[in-house]
Amino acid sequence: MKDAIVISTVVMLAAIIAHPAAASADSWQERMLFKPTPAQLEMEKSRSRIMIYEGIKDVQVAEAMESQFNRIEHMMFTGTVVTDEQGEALIDKDTGQPVVEEDGCE
């Protein structure tokens, strides 16, 4: 029984991680991207840390390229969600999932 609970929890966490596009607009990734803590900035600077942002909208990536230009070398974007003219995620009609840019990282 205990193993079943652990397995269920791991499966749920994997599903959440696999579909971060469903995260709220105030996700931790967005906070790290646009409002990094002093500790995050120090890790980027002194330890050359790179943050991988998964499932961020394409409009947010474009905004980061402008507003966080001095930190670009510490960013990697994968699974970027494609948006329409209003900045809303495009949804694949066949799968019902957000459309993501093809980045070759599978």
- Specify if 64 maps to a domain: yes
Which phi and psi angles does 100 have, rounded to 5°?
-120, 150
One-character DSSP codes across 26-70: T-HHHHHHHS--HHHHHHHHHH---EEEES-BHHHHHHHHHHTGG
State the chain's mean pLDDT as an integer.
80
- Specify if 94 maps to a domain: no
Q: Which amino acid is at 4?
A: A
Q: Which amino acid is at 44?
A: E
The C-alpha atoms of residue 93 and residue 34 are separated, in whole angstroms, by: 31
The pTM assigned to this predicted structure is 0.68
Which token pair is 21?
Answer: 């596009």
Domain that holds residue 68: 2-78
The pLDDT tens digits for 39-68 are 999 999 898 899 999 999 999 999 999 999
- Specify if 106 maps to a domain: no
Number of neighbouring beta carbons within 10 Å of residue 23: 15
- Specify if 86 maps to a domain: no
Query: What one-character DSSP code corresponds to residue 74?
Result: G
The pLDDT tens digits for 57-106 are 999 999 999 999 999 999 999 999 999 999 999 999 999 999 999 877 66
The pLDDT tens digits for 31-42 are 999 999 999 999
- Specify if 88 maps to a domain: no
